[in-house]
Amino acid sequence: MFPAIQPFNSGFLRVSDLHTIYYEESGNPDGKPVVILHGGPGGGSSPAMRRLHDPAHYRIILFDQRGCGRSTPYAELRENTTWDLVSDIELLREHLDITRWQVFGGSWGSTLSLAYAQTHPHRVSELILRGIFMLRHEEVHWFYQKGADALFPDYFERYRDFIPAEEQHDLVAAYYKRLTGDDRSVQQEAARRWAQWEGSTLSLLPNPGRVAQFGEEHVALAFARIECHYFYHKGFFEADDQLLRDMVRIRHIPASIIQGRYDVVTPVKSAWDLHKAWPEASFKIVDDAGHTMSEPGLASALIDATEKYKEVRAQA
């Protein structure tokens, strides 16, 4: 990864009467613009996200989506849908006076990247997508109900058994009930269980430090509440396969799809389905990686993609 850098500009943008989002810019102020969309939803951005693009060539833009990171109000679910976030990305582009930009997203960030590009294709110069997730029923069911438990039964048990047996047939709904309830202690424990289940499975090898971080109160509450809110409402899509259905809108945009072979959170089948619907995009499976972008094979493949596009003029 490129060396750690600090932002040259940061600020807050009011996107509605209720929500204000934090954003930052780093790298070259006159460089090719790229907006990086974080995962979750509810995960927030991190300094590591600045390190996948050459800072001498790129104007690197990060922001915290509604309700998470440094955006306010914290963990807020009102006015927080996929289409609100798509609107926020456009408002940020206009605020920063950018005509077109590269869109880079992993996990939920890949979902949001596709939704944004399909809504505003003329504003996207390229797409770089990792850990493909299209928020279809089968994808949510695999990780939060039945599928991933076969690989991580010990971690899954701690997540599942917070919910009474009579409600375990629909764990997303059961968690949603608790994460939106009035009992703060129940809400916080539900958030910790939800977040640490995901934090335990992100990489090919265990990372206890990351699991502990996911369990921290401020991290877990926004992450779990917002993520469960989106999953419970089926991503606010009008159809389960909406992103695949609408691929015709963006098949002309240069793109790279990068996927860890042993990604348990967003299994390779989703990336394969996207690849079949979008054969024009380059497609790479990294055979020694799971989900997180910090794994060496994934980071290397992502940097290869950002290097490939860095000399392509964003205004072309």
All structural domains of the chain, each given as residue ranges with its CATH number in brackets, are 9-137+236-309 (3.40.50.1820), 138-234 (no CATH)
DSSP of the chain, one letter per residue? -PPP---SEEEEEE-SSS-EEEEEEEE-TTSEEEEEE-STTTT---GGGGGSS-TTTEEEEEEPPTTSTT-BSTT--TT-SHHHHHHHHHHHHHHTT-S-EEEEEETHHHHHHHHHHHH-GGGEEEEEEES-----HHHHHHHHTSSGGGT-HHHHHHHHTTS-GGGTT-HHHHHHHHHTSS-HHHHHHHHHHHHHHHHTSSSSS--HHHHHHHTSHHHHHHHHHHHHHHHHTGGG-SSTTHHHHTGGGTTTS-EEEEEETT-SSS-HHHHHHHHHH-TTSEEEEETT--S-TTSHHHHHHHHHHHHHHTTS-TT-
What is the C-alpha separation between 15 and 82, in angstroms, rounded? 14
Q: Which pLDDT belongs to residue 312?
A: 80
Query: Quick count: other Cβ atoms within 10 Å of Cβ 113?
Result: 27
Q: Which pLDDT belongs to residue 180?
A: 98
Say what the pTM is: 0.97
Q: Which pLDDT belongs to residue 44?
A: 97
Q: Which pLDDT belongs to residue 38?
A: 98
Only one residue has tokens 């348990």, namely 264
- 316 residues of the chain, pLDDT tens digit each: 999 999 999 999 999 999 999 999 999 999 999 999 999 999 999 999 999 999 999 999 999 999 999 999 999 999 999 999 999 999 999 999 999 999 999 999 999 999 999 999 999 999 999 999 999 999 999 999 999 999 999 999 999 999 999 999 999 999 999 999 999 999 999 999 999 999 999 999 999 999 999 999 989 999 999 999 999 999 999 999 999 999 999 999 999 999 999 999 999 999 999 999 999 999 999 999 999 999 999 999 999 999 999 988 644 3
What the block records as the tokens of 15 is 């996107």
List the catalytic residues: 107, 263, 291
85 and 112 in contact (C-beta within 8 Å)? yes
